[in-house]
Amino acid sequence: MILTVASGKGGTGKTTLAVNMALLLAETMPVALLDCDVEEPNAHLFLHPAIDACEPVTLPTPVVDEERCCGCGKCAAVCAFNAILVLGGRALTFPELCHGCGGCALLCPEGAVTEEPRGIGVIEAGWAEKVRFFHGRVDIGAPLAAPVAAAVRKRAQERQGLIIVDAPPGTSCPVVAAVKDSDYCLLVTEPTPFGLHDLQLAVGMARELQVPCGVVVNRVGLGDQQVAAYCASEDIPVLLEIPFDRRYAECYARGGQLVREFPELRDKLRKLWLRIRMEVEGDGPGAAGH
């Protein structure tokens, strides 16, 4: 099962939830954690994995043979990101803008465009106790988080058991790469107007991707009741509420593992896993949010 933890709003507790679920559930089943927040990966700060593999992520990028280029401009016309430009009968490439679709090479009538791999980031893998760990890092200056996030997400294919994906915040391309084709999406939010606003965006994204979703409300006790009211009106299950507790924040701040320090959270997360399992296996209370 692929379980993705996403949020909309940043800083709601995605990584905290993903890491602690991974640690707890690895006690009873095979679990992999994929940190797809390739711009700011942080799950390793809590898991301390021993990295045993590192591989580059590359994107095919066009190289133009000037001898063969006829200057027709078909390559530039198809490029959605202006990574190739034809001026005065000559094609110029801007590799940092290229998203690697291959359209230019496909359409060139002279066969003048070839593709060469260009490094945009790395994926590292390792073990953190019983959790198989993967994360990606996009190279500094490479504005291409989505392909790196997708490359990390793809590692799910080589794993069995439960795969927990820690998505980046927001609802943009890297988040879509993480959430797409998941069996279930947990949306972590907080009971504030900001939490509600971004939760609504995230619910819209999950529905568009046809991934069933449920909500985890973190820091309950702060803020207001609007998130609960919204979830009720939209028929989205609220699967877990984590109270606002200074001890949890202190544990997080020193890179601690909540499930090792707070038995009550172990019970809550076990129950959350059961609810997710029932939602995914189709016999849970209420439809799964879409």
Partner 1 sequence: MKIAIATANGAVSPHFGHCPEFTLALVEKGQVKEMETLPSPGHRPGVWPEFLAEQGASVVIAGGMGARAQELFRAKDIETIIGAQGPVREVLAAYLAGSLQVGEDACDHGRDRP
Tokens of 252: 């997080």
Q: Contact between 26 and partner 1 (CB under 8 A)?
A: yes
| 24/76 with CB nearer partner 1 | 24
Draw the binding track, 147-186, toward partner 1 (x: CB under 8 A; -: no contact).
-------------xx-------------------------
* Residue 227 near residue 215, CB atoms below 8 Å: yes
Find out whether 262 and 248 touch, Cβ atoms under 8 Å. yes
If one asks whether residue 85 binds partner 1 (CB under 8 A), the answer comes out as no
According to the binding rule CB under 8 A, does residue 1 interact with partner 1? yes
* Residue of the chain from 19, 123, 202, 272 that contacts partner 1 (CB under 8 A): 272
* Nearer to partner 1 among residue 105 and residue 238 (C-beta): 238
**DSSP structural state of residue 155:** G
Shortest distance (Å) from residue 29 CB to partner 1: 4
CB 168 within 8 A of CB 197: no
String marking each residue 231-270 x if it binds partner 1 according to CB under 8 A: ------------------------------------xxxx
Contact between 275 and partner 1 per CB under 8 A: yes
141 contributes a contact to partner 1 by CB under 8 A: no
Listed ranges 24-32, 38-46, 90-98, 182-190: which one lies at the site for partner 1 (CB under 8 A): 24-32
- Euclidean distance between CA atoms 173 and 171, whole angstroms: 7
CA–CA separation, 18 vs 150, rounded Å? 18
Q: Which of 105/280 has CB closer to partner 1?
A: 280
For 1-49, strand residue ranges (E) read 2-6, 31-35
Provide DSSP, 232-279.
HHHT--EEEEEE--HHHHHHHHTT--HHHH-HHHHHHHHHHHHHHHHH
Rounded least distance, CB 152 to partner 1, Å: 21
Q: Is 210 an interacting residue with respect to partner 1 (CB under 8 A)?
A: no
Cα 152 to Cα 220: distance, rounded to the nearest angstrom: 32
Choosing from 222, 229, 278, 287, the residue that interacts with partner 1 (CB under 8 A) is 278
SS3 61: strand
Q: What is the DSSP letter of 103?
A: H
Report how far residue 167's alpha carbon sits from residue 194's, in angstroms, rounded to the nearest whole number. 19
28 binds partner 1 (CB under 8 A): yes
Which chain residues interact with partner 1 by CB under 8 A?
1, 25-26, 28-30, 129-130, 160-161, 267-272, 274-275, 277-278, 281, 283-285
